[in-house]
């Protein structure tokens, strides 16, 4: 089971929870089937099983857990052989995306716990393409933030697209690199109070943070970092990862810049220009309507970690921003709040309990599925979380 940790689940529990979620929503809720294991809700219902208790439950063993997963899948496949109602399709879509999220979580859980890296995934060599300097100029105008009904499955916190007025702004063409963040560290950024918000300074002092969580003290002038079980030299031009919102905003103050709002981020990612204003249209992906490929986006374990920020030029947005899908999640300045008229979907604990306590991230990372890494998808974590595959890009001030 591993040691208790506040920020991750025991892996055995995590796998059983994925299967339970599928069963609960597709077989029990939508198809009105009886539970396959009588006590399953008391084992895997994350809304009611306290986090600390997950290490102390009488769980099925590894083989039993995998058999439960196989039994759920077999019954789902049986239903798929019939004509699915829209309601049934919705719950399949929900459960598959929930599994996607936990697959990504298991990748960063391995990092948190110093386990071996995932095997058989992301074996392609990392493209070396250096840094990508400069800002993209994004025109002002009315932007429709959020998702529309025509976009297929969307989560409740994305509903619905609504107009937001944006002033023109300049946003970095690429995410902040390891080398750029190292300059902040080397200049004493973690020790200088003026760069940190009050809550961020409290976090830094409580953790005695001197650099990103997995970086290892500099030796012979070179920064290294722990990657799963091994310590490796930092790739200077790869996107910085495992930094929290406090660290990202402190870097921005040091650099005389700021984080984008989520509306600015979304407009830079999929907006287009018409004359001297934002167009009323939007692209499906930053590069257009074609689906992601490894030449456009580092998603779905295409590579086994963040790559150089200048790579994958085929994925540029209309305004010239690169890697806005994949590589690393990007923190925004925005609080995670409901859009006007919010109504919880059937899985009521997905968004509603977390409003006002988290910050919004956009764009997905190298371990995110294409189903999740849509431009309008709103990820959300507390600002102190530095264990997820998160980095950031910045905006010019003024």
Residue 261: count of CB within 10 angstroms of its CB: 18
Reply yes or no on whether the pLDDT at 299 is more than 90. Answer: yes
Rg of the chain over CA atoms, in angstroms?
21
Digit-coded pLDDT (tens) for 226-259: 999 999 999 999 999 999 999 999 999 999 999 9
268 exposure class (CB count in 10 Å sphere: 0-12, 13-18, 19+): buried
- Quote the tokens at residue 315: 């994925």
Residue 366 — pLDDT band, cuts 50, 70, 90?
Answer: very high
CB count, 10 Å around CB of 290? 10
Q: For the whole model, what pTM was predicted?
A: 0.97
Quick one: pLDDT at residue 122?
65
Instruction: Supply 24's token pair.
Output: 């609960």
Residue 127 C-alpha from the chain's centroid: 22
Q: What is the mean pLDDT of residues 294-304?
A: 95
Which of 219, 228, 95 lies closest to 153 in space, CA to CA? 95
Residue 372 pLDDT level (bands cut at 50, 70, 90): very high
pLDDT in tens, 71-114: 999 999 999 988 889 999 999 999 999 999 999 999 999 999 99
The secondary structure element, H or E, covering residue 390 is strand 390-391
Predicted confidence at residue 118, as pLDDT, reads 84
pLDDT of residue 398: 85
Tokens 């058999």 found at: 67
Q: Is the peptide bond before 320 cis (omega within 30 degrees of 0)?
A: no
Q: Taking Cα atoms as reference points, which of 131, 187, 140 lies closest to residue 311?
A: 131
Tell me whether residue 311 is exposed, middle or buried, using C-beta atoms within 10 angstroms of its C-beta: 0 to 12, 13 to 18, 19 or more: buried
pLDDT of residue 219: 82
Mean pLDDT calculated for residue range 11-26: 97
Other beta carbons within 10 angstroms of residue 184's beta carbon come to 22
- What are 128-147's pLDDT values in tens digits? 898 999 999 999 999 999 99
- What's the whole-number mean pLDDT along residues 308-327? 98
120 Cβ contact list (under 8 Å, min separation 6): none
Identify the pLDDT of residue 3: 87
Residues whose CB is less than 8 angstroms from the CB of residue 23 and which lie 6 or more positions away in sequence, other chains included: 35, 36, 40, 72, 75
The Cα–Cα gap between 76 and 366 comes to: 29
How large is the average pLDDT for residues 49-57?
96
CA–CA separation, 284 and 298 (whole Å): 17
Residue 156 three-state SS: helix
- Cβ contact 375:285 at 8 Å: yes
Q: Which domains does the chain have, with CATH numbers?
A: 11-112 (no CATH), 124-398 (3.90.1580.10)
């Amino acid at each position: 089971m591993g040691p208790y940790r506040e920020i991750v689940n025991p892996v055995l529990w995590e796998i059983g929870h994925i299967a339970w979620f599928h069963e609960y929503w597709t077989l029990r809720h939508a198809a009105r089937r009886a539970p396959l294991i009588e006590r399953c809700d008391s084992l895997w219902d994350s809304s009611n099983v306290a986090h600390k208790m997950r290490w102390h439950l009488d769980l099925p063993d590894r083989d039993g857990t995998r058999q439960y997963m196989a039994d759920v899948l077999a019954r789902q496949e049986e239903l798929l052989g019939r004509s699915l109602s829209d309601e049934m399709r919705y719950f399949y879509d929900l459960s598959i995306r929930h599994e996607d999220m936990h697959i990504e979580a298991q990748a960063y859980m391995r990092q948190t716990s110093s386990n071996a890296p995932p095997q058989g995934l992301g074996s392609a060599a990392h493209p070396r393409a250096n840094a990508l300097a400069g800002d993209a100029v994004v025109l002002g105008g009315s932007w429709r933030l959020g998702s529309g009904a025509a976009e297929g499955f969307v989560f409740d916190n994305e509903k619905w697209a609504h107009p937001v007025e944006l002033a023109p702004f300049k946003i970095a063409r690429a995410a902040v690199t390891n080398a750029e963040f190292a300059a902040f560290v080397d200049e004493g950024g973690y020790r200088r109070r003026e760069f940190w918000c009050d809550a961020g300074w409290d976090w830094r002092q409580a953790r005695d943070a001197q650099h990103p969580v997995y970086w290892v003290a500099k030796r012979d002038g070179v920064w290294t970092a722990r990657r799963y079980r091994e310590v490796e030299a930092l790739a200077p031009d790869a996107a910085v990862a495992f930094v929290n919102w406090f660290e990202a905003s402190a870097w921005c103050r040091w650099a005389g810049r700021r984080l984008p709002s989520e509306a600015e981020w979304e407009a830079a990612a999929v907006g287009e220009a018409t004359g001297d204003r934002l167009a009323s249209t939007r692209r499906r992906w930053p590069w257009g309507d074609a689906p992601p490929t490894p030449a456009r986006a580092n998603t779905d374990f295409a590579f086994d970690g963040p790559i150089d920020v200048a790579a994958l030029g085929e994925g540029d947005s209309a305004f010239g921003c690169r890697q806005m899908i994949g590589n690393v999640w990007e923190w925004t300045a925005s609080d995670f709040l409901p859009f006007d008229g919010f109504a919880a979907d059937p899985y009521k604990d997905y968004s509603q309990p977390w409003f006002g306590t988290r910050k919004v991230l956009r764009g997905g990372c190298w371990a995110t599925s294409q189903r999740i890494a849509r431009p309008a998808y709103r990820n959300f974590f507390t600002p102190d979380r530095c264990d997820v595959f998160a980095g950031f890009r910045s905006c010019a001030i003024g």
